[in-house]
Structure 1
Amino acid sequence: MQFILRPFLLNDVDSLVKYANNLNVSKHLTNKFPFPYTDKDAEAFIEIALSHEPLQIKAIVINGEAVGSIGVHPLADIYSKNAELGYWIAEPFWDNGIVAEAVKEMLKYGFETFNIQRIFARTTHVNLSSQQVLKKSGFVLEAKLKGTIFKYDEYFDELIFAFRKNQMVI
C-alpha cells in the first residue's frame, strides 16, 4: 500500500478525528492521546506538529487522508544525542508494513536533520505489533523495565528499543 509522509495540514482535522477516535489505537499510546478523540484534540495536535523547526512530526498519508502520525523528538541536556520515535496508524491499515517503512524513512530524516546518534522507541510488553515494527526496522531491544507503565488501571512492562546512527546503511 502506497503512503507518503508530509507535514500536517490544517485541513487534516476531519481525517485525524476519523482515524484517531479509536480505543484500539489510543490504548497503546500515552495519555496525551485522548479517547474519545475530538476536533479540538486534532486541532491542538496539528498546532503542536507544525510548531517545531525543523519539523519533528509528520502525517502518514494514504489516498490523501492523514491516517497516522510519526515523529522524531530530540532530547536535551545530557540526552542531547538521543531522540525518541513515536508513531501510530489507523486500525484499517494495521499489518500492511506501512509503519515499518515509515519508521525507516524517519530514521533517515532524523539522523540527517538532527545532531543525534541514537533514536529510541518505547512500547509495552503486550504491544506485539509495535515490537515487530521496531525489530523489522532494525531496532534492538535495549531494556525491559518491569511495571513502569500504568494505563487503564493496569501495569505494563516497558520495552525500550533503539537504533544507532552507525547502523544506517548508506
Structure 2
Amino acid sequence: MLTQNKVTLVPYTLTRCHEVYKQYVPDPMMTYDLFTYEQEKVDRYYQVKVLDKSRQFFAIQFEDKIVGEIQLKYLDEIKGHGTLSILITTDAYKNRGIGSTAIKLMLNYASESLNLTKVYADAIHRNSRSQYVLERLGFEYIKEDDVLKYYCYLINR
C-alpha cells in the first residue's frame, strides 16, 4: 500500500468503486452535468474502465474512509508515459491536501513500479484549483485548447 499523511492508495475493488460513486457530487469547476448513482452504471464503469489493462486505478482512502479515485490511463510502457486522472468525491475532502498527497503517491508509483518517465495531466480552464495543484507539484504547462490546459511531469531518473 502507498501511504502518506493519513492518505492511502488502496486497490480499487468493485465495492470501493460503489463507495466512491454513492457519495460523489459533481464539482461545477469540472462539469455542469448532474450525476445520479445507478448500480448498473457503476458496474459497467468498473468493468470497462477500471479493469482495462491500459489503466492503473487506486481508491483514495483518507483515514478509514474512501474519498476518491486516482488513475494512470493511456499507459504506454514503450514510451514510458501515462496520463493522470483524479476524482475527489465531495467538497468535504477538497482543500485538505488529500488530492495533492494522492498525486504524489501516484507519481512515486509511476516511477518506482511502472518505470514511467513522464506523466501527463489536464485540467478544464475554469478549474483553477486543479491547475494550481498540478503546477505546485511540479507539472509543467504544455499547451491548451478551447476546453483544457495540458501539463507534463518529468520523472527524474
Q: TM-score, normalised by structure 2?
A: 0.80
For structure 1, the 5+ residue unaligned runs are 148-155
Give the letter aligned to residue 153 of structure 2. F
> Given the alignment, which residue of 147, 152, 157 partners 1:162?
152
Q: Which moved more, 1:120-129 or 1:36-45?
A: 36-45
Letter in 1 for 2:27: N
Q: Give the distance between the partners of 2:57 and 2:52, measured in 1 at CA.
A: 9
Contact 1:74 1:114 in 2 (8 A): no
Alignment identity in percent? 23
2:143 matched to 1:143? yes
CA distance in 1 between counterparts of 2:80 and 2:52 reads: 21
Q: Which structure carries more helix by proportion?
A: 1
- 2:50 counterpart residue number: 49
Output the CA distance in 1 between the equivalents of 2:119 and 2:86: 13
CA distance in 1 between counterparts of 2:126 and 2:66 reads 26
- Count residues with an aligned counterpart: 150
* TM-score with structure 1 setting the length: 0.74
Give SS of 1:43's match.
Answer: helix
Matches of 2:41 and 2:65, distance apart in 1: 17
- The answer to whether the 8 Å contact 1:140/1:162 transfers is yes
Asked if 1:64 is matched to 2:54, the reply is no
Separation of aligned partners in 1, 2:8 and 2:75: 26
In the alignment, what sits opposite 1:23?
Answer: 26
Q: Give the AA of the match of 2:26.
A: L
Equivalents in 2 of 1:52, 1:110: separation in Å?
15
Consecutive unaligned residues of structure 2, counting only runs of 5 or more, are: none
Note the aligned Cα RMSD (angstroms): 2.7
Contact 1:49 1:58 in 2 (8 A): no
